[in-house]
Amino acid sequence: MKKLLLAVFPTILLLVAPASAHRLDEYLEATILSIQSDRVEGSLRLVPGVAVSSAVIASIDANGNGTLPEPEQQRYALRVLADLSLSIDRQPLKPRLVSADFPSVEEMREGIGEIHISFIADLPRGGADRRLTYENHHQSQLAAYLVNCLVPSDKNIRITGQNRNENQSFYQLDFVDADRSGGDPPAQAPLFSSLSGFAGAFRLGMRHISEGTDHLMFLLALLLPAPLLARGCRWGRSATTFDSLRHILGIVTAFSVGHSLTLALAASGIVHVPSRPIEVLIAVSILLSALHAIRPMFPGREAAIAASFGLIHGLAFATAVSGLGFGGWYRLISLLGFNLGIEAMQIMVVTVTMPSFLLLSRTPAYSLLRVGGALFAALAATGWIVERLLNVRSALDSLVERAAHHGPEIAGTLFLLSSVSWWLRTSPASRSRCHRRVDEAHDQDQLPDALPVISGD
């Protein structure tokens, strides 16, 4: 029974995070708000992913002729605004359309077309302490929402708090208007806004990596053989605990350095690469790391591989923060917070999974975990490659999404199983059986020069 459980759970180990954030199957709706004393301005970036682009285009192209003339663009922009809810101090506001800019149909089908919609709403007079509430219900079944607020250009306005729901379709902004209270402008407003922006970006970074099944799958697949030593074309016995930890630390650090570099370059606009090749290369990186976990392909060079593919993953991370309207010091603070959020969540996932890897690597059961997990990762990566090249959704992708919601429970169960397996391996009864086998071999004059070392295979 123990071996059966250990054979099943490895195949779902790599599902420790929710569904991938980079499958191009969502309708990204990013909103940037700007607060003035007498008005609120909003900028919407709507980016339909490849898998949902046809549905989005059909909702815009009323006559179905494959073109998006000005009247259809205006009608769609007004429909988007009708799906927004905006209020100040519980008083409803009516956003007015300022401009609407649409890409070509071909760009939207490729997943790179961005719809830009700007709106404005007048703020009625009120007290010094104010609360703005924003809700976005447009295409809720397809959408992935993002929302943030720019640092106020009016020095009399100080942001005092921000609150979002889990999917960011709801956003609440508290601010103080010193001009309405008759007081002096708050001296710490820029600092507070910067700290608030850092905290929001940090949370966004944690959420982004926790939802990035493909990113975590690459890293975990690369770490699967980390506690083992390569012996020719096979994985052999386990390394010492110190060497294993050093190897794991080197891989994680190299991956962090790689993606941090390209994240900074891409989010700053220095580097720009189309999203489709990046998504395909990410899936390829998972496939290669999974094959390496089954049979050594680049033993001892895992850190270099992690750094190289980390450059690719960083370009994908940048899509979450680039082009959202941040500039100057606020862009730097937000970028730092986002990257640290990624690192924090990455460290948490590694900390949760590595004890199970290390414990099981000292037992014969580890080959089940390593090969089972690697095969699942390889299958998922192959499905993603086909999906991202041909715009088709694989059945395995849906399985990953459904099972990923139970990631914490799976990780906890795996740790429990690894602990039990280790205890059984090192229990007095197990040691007694080992000594009996040694004595029998000695009696038969078959005792080897040294006791065999527990192998990972």
What pLDDT, in 10s, does the model give residues 59-72?
Answer: 999 888 888 999 99
Is the model more confident about 91 or about 454? 91
What's the rounded Cα separation, in Å, for the pair 307 and 259? 8
Are residues 388 and 24 in contact, defined by beta-carbon separation less than 8 angstroms? yes
pLDDT at 246: 92
pLDDT at 317: 81
Residue 86 has pLDDT above 90, yes or no: yes
pTM metric for this prediction: 0.58
What pLDDT, in 10s, does the model give residues 308-351?
Answer: 999 999 888 876 665 444 555 666 777 888 889 889 989 998 99
* Residues contacting residue 416 through CB under 8 Å, at least 6 positions apart: none
Is the model more confident about 135 or about 328? 135
Question: DSSP letters of 134-185?
Answer: EEE-TTTTTEEEEEEEPPPSSTTEEEEEEEE-TTSSEEEEEEEEHHHHT-PP
Rama region for 168: left / alpha / beta (φ>0; ψ in -120 to 50; rest): left
pLDDT at 156: 82
Is the model more confident about 187 or about 279? 279
Give the mean pLDDT of the chain.
79
What's the rounded Cα separation, in Å, for the pair 330 and 271? 20
Angle subtended at Cα 293 by Cα 212 and Cα 205, rounded to the nearest 5 degrees: 20
Q: Which of 181-195, 230-244, 376-390 has the lowest mean pLDDT?
A: 181-195
